[in-house]
Amino acid sequence: MLCQHANERTTFGALLADRQAIQWWVADAETRIHCLQLMLWHAACLQDAGADVRTEASMIKLYGTELATDVIDWAMQAHGAMGMTKELPLQLMAQRVRVMRIYEGPSEVHRWVLARNRLREAK
């Protein structure tokens, strides 16, 4: 939705797609989505090999929900006031991803577990 809208919406004589902030949001989203895909593939390979993937699952839950939060927020921002209305699904997406950050385990808990495990391994 962000990319489609950016290629259609003109403000102050230029497409949103030509604005650096929008371009950076798109670039960051693409890069982070690719990272998440690699994390998923890596965890799947480990799972297929019979390895314990609890650490990888925590990383994926943490990274994925925060990525979704950021991308939805950028899309809402690009859509302006319309992004906040029920006319578009963005506000519903934002609401659902916020809940995911709780039931998938709070980000702070995942960070704590990941750090605790890494610090133990470093002893």
d(CA 42, CA 59): 11
**Annotation marks residue 104 as catalytic:** yes
Three-class HEC string of the chain: CHHHHHHHCEECCEEHHHCHHHHHHHHHHHHHHHHHHHHHHHHHHHHHCCCCCHHHHHHHHHHHHHHHHHHHHHHHHHHHHHHHCCCCCHHHHHHHHHHHHHHCCCHHHHHHHHHHHHHHHCC
Among the options 30, 87, 104, 108, which is catalytic? 104
d(CA 23, CA 9): 14
Catalytic positions are 104
